């Protein structure tokens, strides 16, 4: 054998092995196809790829599935036959003939699937039936030949391409099929005679023992009925209940009244409460001013428990009807929705559950539901179903919660409750900007008022100051006159730009003061001011003690001497919260002045 032929054979064997390897890889990629993996029309980052072939396998499976549908499973068969031909055959014509006839067989198979099925048998609704090739060619043949003529044409194409691909002659194929049918018929005839004799003998023996089996069966049924209740209790899902915390009584410390000078006010103060006075002896309003939380009326715990169990059973049965096996392992009732944690059986794809959203909503008789697949940190799928009766969330309930009372920030906001019914709070200083949006009646005004009251019930005017802008003069005007306001509620859009410009100037001034004293934020500046105030008081007492009994200095240089010896410490800086209602209306009227100031505050404040 010449060296040239040896090299040719080695190259042919190499490509044959590569074809076999591609066959195995392509079959693995198609079997483990997942609609959640990255594809040509979807990019997924930060998630594990489910496909066994990794990122390459995910793209390969997606491309084959979209082009050929379920017929793509025949593609590895073509590569396997091609690899075998490369290793065994010596003629290039055989390889090209196998590749061409295999491609025709694949196209015909995809078209036949597109005609006979309404949904793809393996990939479901994720891809067109039979892929793009089958859908296009099948639709064309049905238009011109009707379904029966199209099926006959495709079967003929499949038969011819299969014979060309496998190199089988028609007479050999007919003889082979005839031999197989004869062997099967002979086996069935012999099996039928043996089965007849065996059946007669078996029936004779069964007739004698039927009475004993009947009594045994009745005993078993009775035992099962007695243990049914215990078995149901073992399989019931765990229902997590929530307990309402006991109200927290806030003890307010009464400070002795000090003599105060009458201060001139530029605005009219609203109704006077006992806790309102000068900022020096201001007392935080107690939570007892809020309405008491009424007890739950019309709620039956046993009935609610039974309703949850019934919903869990309906959910499991509906999923089982679609071939998804599993069970509800835990239920988390919330004020607005209830979360059912569903654990699918091994081998069930998460994408199959996610595609049943509309069917589950119909079964549960709700407008819509949300499927969280999977729940982070758990091997379950979360199904969120709206409650038939929404629970009222009370502001006082959130204010008295451990989450709010345990927060040290004076800008803690009472947001409400999360989906599991736990109080939700947020520190505005960590946000630090908040934009509320929503349709009419979605609760924007209720949320805004709750946030404002959260600050008013938690901070003094020395700790938090506010600027309120209300172009519509409806929502924030009720707060006009509270001691936390730097100025009356701004209702003129033209003055709103001036108020925001003042806020920018104040922000820059504060940054300059903090830079001079080497601190980074308001908390650091206030801690430094408190430390300097204590040092100032100690030095002042020493200075007063040293000058006791001496001749007082003249009135002309008294202030100058104290200023030199005892410089005044800086005062603490309060937080400044800017609240704007109906920002869109404000931008329509005074967009030029408002936009620049808002951008500056959003970047630096």
- Per-residue pLDDT of 566-576, as tens digits, reads 567 788 889 99
Listed range (103-107, 183-187, 432-436) with the worst mean pLDDT = 183-187
Host H or E run for residue 225: helix 170-226
State the pLDDT at residue 503.
Answer: 92
Judge contact between 350 and 36, C-beta under 8 A. yes
Confidence of residue 258 (pLDDT cuts 50, 70, 90): very low
Mean pLDDT of 128-135: 81
pLDDT (average), residues 402-417? 90
Res 523: pLDDT: 86
Q: For residue 144, what are its two tokens?
A: 């011109």
Sheet holding 238-239, edge to edge: 238-239, 326-333, 337-344, 381-386, 370-372
Is the pLDDT reported for residue 228 higher than 60?
no
The arithmetic mean of pLDDT across residues 276-291, rounded, is 74
Least confident of 63-72, 119-128, 161-170, 472-481: 119-128
Range from 242-246, 283-287, 323-327, 503-507 carrying the lowest mean pLDDT: 242-246
Range 420-437 average pLDDT: 87
pTM above 0.85, yes or no: no
Indicate if the pLDDT at residue 75 is higher than 70. Answer: yes
Q: Which residue has the higher pLDDT, 29 or 43?
A: 29
Better-predicted residue by pLDDT, 269 or 385 = 385
338: pLDDT strictly greater than 80: yes
Q: Which of 459, 400, 394, 460 is nearest to 427 (CA)?
A: 459
| Confidence bin at 269 (pLDDT 50/70/90) | very low
How many angstroms separate the CA atoms of 511 and 600, rounded?
13
Q: What is the pLDDT of residue 278?
A: 47
Confidence at 471, pLDDT banded by 50, 70, 90: confident
Which of 34 and 76 is assigned the larger pLDDT?
Answer: 76
Spatial distance between the Cα atoms of 149 and 111, rounded to a whole number of angstroms: 13
- Quote the tokens at residue 128: 């067109």
What is d(CA 395, CA 398) in angstroms, rounded to the nearest whole number?
5
79 pLDDT band, cuts 50/70/90, is: confident
Check whether 326 has a pLDDT greater than 50: yes
Tokens standing for 225?
A: 């009925």
In this prediction, residue 341 has a pLDDT band, given cuts at 50, 70 and 90, of very high
**Percent of the chain with pLDDT strictly greater than 90:** 13
Residue 240 has pLDDT above 70, yes or no: no
User: What's the token pair of residue 393?
Assistant: 């969330």
pLDDT band at residue 536, thresholds of 50, 70 and 90?
A: confident
- 451, pLDDT greater than 80: yes
Predicted local confidence at residue 468, as pLDDT: 93
> Shortest CA distance to 465 belongs to which of 488, 486, 480?
486
| Mean pLDDT, residues 93-103 | 76
For range 62-66, the mean pLDDT: 84
Contact in structure between 344 and 325 (CB atoms under 8 Å): yes
Higher pLDDT, 244 or 158: 158
CB contact at 8 A, 348 and 324: yes
- Please tell me whether residue 257 adopts helix, strand or coil conformation: coil
- 461 neighbors 484 (Cβ within 8 angstroms): yes
Domains and CATH numbers, the chain: 3-168 (no CATH), 237-241+298-386 (3.30.980.40), 394-516+575-604 (3.40.50.300)
Whole-number mean pLDDT of the chain? 78
Q: pLDDT band for position 235 (50/70/90)?
A: low
DSSP secondary structure of 397-445: HHHTSHHHHT---TTEEEEEE-TTS-EEEEEGGGS--------TTSSHH
The first and second tokens of residue 439, run together, are 């349709």
What pLDDT does residue 384 have? 92
* pLDDT confidence bin for 452, thresholds 50/70/90: very high
Q: What is the pLDDT of residue 255?
A: 46
What was the pLDDT predicted at 276? Answer: 42
Judged against a pLDDT cut of 70, whether residue 150 lies above it is answered with yes
pLDDT at 221: 58
Q: 139-148, 435-444, 467-476, 560-569 — which is least confidently predicted?
A: 560-569
pLDDT of residue 485: 92
Supply the pLDDT for residue 560.
47
Q: Is the pLDDT of residue 577 over 90?
A: yes
277 falls in which pLDDT band (50, 70, 90)? Answer: very low
pLDDT reading at 465 higher than 90:
yes
pLDDT at position 53: 83
Q: Which of 36-50, 358-372, 379-393, 457-471 has the lowest mean pLDDT?
A: 36-50
How far lies 179's CA from each of 183, 184, 187, in Å? 6, 9, 12
Question: With 80 as the cut, is the pLDDT of residue 66 above it?
Answer: yes
- Identify the weakest region by mean pLDDT among 230-234, 396-400, 508-512: 230-234
Name the band, by pLDDT with cuts 50, 70 and 90, for residue 453.
very high
What angle in degrees, to the nearest 10, is found between the helix axes of 228-235 and 170-226?
Answer: 110
Residue 8 has pLDDT above 60, yes or no: yes
Containing 514, the helix (H) or strand (E) segment is helix 493-517
Give the model's confidence band at 267: pLDDT under 50 very low, under 70 low, under 90 confident, else very high: very low
CB-based contact 582:488 (threshold 8 Å): no
CA triplet 74, 78, 81: central angle to 5 degrees? 135
Whether residue 578 is predicted with pLDDT greater than 90 in this model: the reply is yes
The reported pLDDT for the residue numbered 602 is 87
């Amino acid at each position: 054998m010449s060296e040239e032929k040896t090299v040719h054979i080695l190259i042919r064997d190499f490509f044959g092995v590569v074809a076999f390897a591609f066959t195995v890889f392509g079959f693995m990629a198609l079997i483990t196809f997942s609609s959640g993996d990255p594809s040509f029309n979807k990019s997924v980052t930060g998630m594990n790829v489910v496909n066994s072939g990794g990122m390459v396998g995910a793209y390969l499976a997606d491309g084959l599935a979209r082009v050929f549908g379920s017929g793509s499973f025949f593609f590895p068969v073509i590569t396997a036959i091609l690899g075998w031909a490369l290793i065994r055959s010596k003629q290039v014509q055989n390889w090209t003939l196998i590749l061409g006839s295999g491609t025709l067989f694949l196209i015909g198979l995809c078209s036949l699937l597109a005609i006979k099925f309404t949904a793809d048998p393996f990939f479901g609704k994720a891809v067109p039936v039979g892929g793009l090739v089958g859908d296009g060619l099948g639709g064309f043949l049905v238009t011109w030949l009707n379904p029966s003529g199209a099926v006959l044409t495709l079967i003929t194409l499949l038969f011819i391409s299969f014979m060309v691909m496998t190199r089988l002659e028609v007479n050999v194929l007919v003889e082979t099929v005839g031999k197989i049918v004869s062997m099967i018929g002979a086996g069935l005839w012999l099996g039928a005679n043996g089965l007849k004799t065996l059946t007669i003998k078996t029936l004779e023996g069964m007739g004698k023992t039927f009475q004993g089996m009947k009594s045994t069966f009745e005993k078993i049924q009775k035992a099962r009925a007695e243990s049914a209740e215990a078995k149901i209790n073992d399989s019931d899902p765990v229902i997590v209940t929530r307990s309402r915390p006991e109200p927290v009584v806030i003890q307010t410390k009464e400070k002795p009244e000090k003599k105060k000078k009458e201060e001139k006010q530029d605005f009219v103060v609203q109704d006077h409460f006992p806790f309102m006075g000068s900022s020096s002896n201001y007392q935080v309003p107690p939570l007892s001013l809020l309405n008491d939380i009424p007890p739950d009326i019309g709620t039956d715990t046993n009935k609610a428990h039974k309703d949850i169990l019934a919903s869990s059973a309906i959910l499991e049965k509906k999923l089982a009807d679609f071939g998804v096996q599993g069970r509800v392992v835990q239920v988390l009732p919330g004020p607005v929705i209830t979360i059912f944690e569903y654990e699918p059986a091994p081998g069930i794809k998460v994408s199959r559950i996610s595609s049943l959203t509309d069917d589950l909503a119909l079964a549960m008789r709700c407008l819509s539901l949300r499927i969280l697949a999977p729940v982070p940190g758990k091997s379950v799928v979360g199904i969120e179903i709206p409650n038939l009766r929404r629970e009222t969330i009370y502001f006082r309930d959130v204010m008295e919660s451990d989450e709010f009372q345990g927060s040290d920030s004076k800008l803690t906001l009472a947001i409400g409750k999360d989906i599991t019914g736990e109080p939700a709070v947020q520190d505005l200083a960590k946000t630090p900007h908040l934009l509320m949006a929503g349709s009419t009646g979605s609760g924007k005004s209720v949320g805004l008022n709750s946030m404002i009251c959260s600050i008013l019930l938690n901070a003094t005017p020395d700790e938090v100051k506010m600027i309120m802008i209300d172009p519509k003069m409806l929502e924030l005007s009720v707060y006009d006159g509270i001691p936390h306001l730097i100025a009356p509620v701004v209702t003129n859009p033209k003055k709103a730009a001036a108020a925001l410009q003042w806020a920018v100037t104040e922000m820059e001034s504060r940054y300059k003061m903090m830079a001079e004293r080497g601190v980074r934020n308001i908390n650091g500046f206030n801690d430094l001011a408190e430390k300097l105030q204590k040092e100032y008081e100690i030095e002042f007492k020493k200075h007063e003690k040293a000058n006791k009994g001496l001749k007082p200095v003249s009135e002309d240089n008294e202030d100058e001497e104290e200023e030199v010896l005892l410089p005044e410490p800086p005062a603490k800086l309060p937080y400044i919260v800017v609240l704007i209602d109906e920002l869109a209306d404000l931008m329509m009227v005074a967009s030029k002045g408002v936009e620049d100031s808002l951008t500056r505050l959003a970047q630096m404040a």
